[in-house]
A = this chain, B = another copy of it.
């Protein structure tokens, strides 16, 4: 069991809580949110990002985000886990992770919500969270998890607002 790249991806722009009459879990991406998430997904694939699995929050806005990422070719499979829902249990996810890593699989993306995702990242990297990571909608955190216990032992190699992945760039 070697080092694992872990991507934590916040769902795209969803319809406002105030403007939506249904349950929070049913809130969906806006058409702008879908379009931007699609652009981000294509950019990530072009950058060479590839995962075995997307583990996603079961809420609609996260599910839609995960499906866009899957269809763009970022991963082969989506699974849903309640730990990724808002205020989900980090400990439950750690247990899941342990079993998943035992299968020698490579590359995992989590799709979920704030402030949970950035707090999880801080706990993995620094052992505790002070809410010091700014993660926009469709923003991405990239960690390297060591073999063994990742809590307070992981490293951060990427944190980007989505807009820094788009727009005009120099040719290489």
Residue pair A46, B169 in contact (C-beta under 8 Å): yes
Q: What is the size, in residues, of chain A's interface with B at 8 Å between Cβ atoms?
A: 31
- Tell me whether A170 is interfacial, beta carbon within 8 Å: yes
Given contacts A156-B132, A160-B158, A160-B160, contact A169 B167 (CB under 8 A): yes
A residues 3-34 with Cβ under 8 Å of B? none
Chain A 150-171, CB within 8 Å of chain B: the 1/0 string? 0010111111110111111110
Q: Contacts of A39 on B, CB cut-off 8 Å?
A: 170, 172
Q: Contacts of A157 on B, CB cut-off 8 Å?
A: 134, 159, 161
17 contacts between A and B (CB under 8 A): A43-B170, A46-B167, A46-B168, A47-B167, A125-B132, A130-B152, A131-B155, A132-B154, A132-B156, A134-B156, A158-B159, A158-B160, A158-B161, A160-B164, A164-B165, A165-B169, A167-B169
Q: Which residues of A approach B to under 8 Å, CB–CB?
A: 39, 42-43, 46-47, 125-126, 130-134, 144, 152, 154-161, 163-170, 172
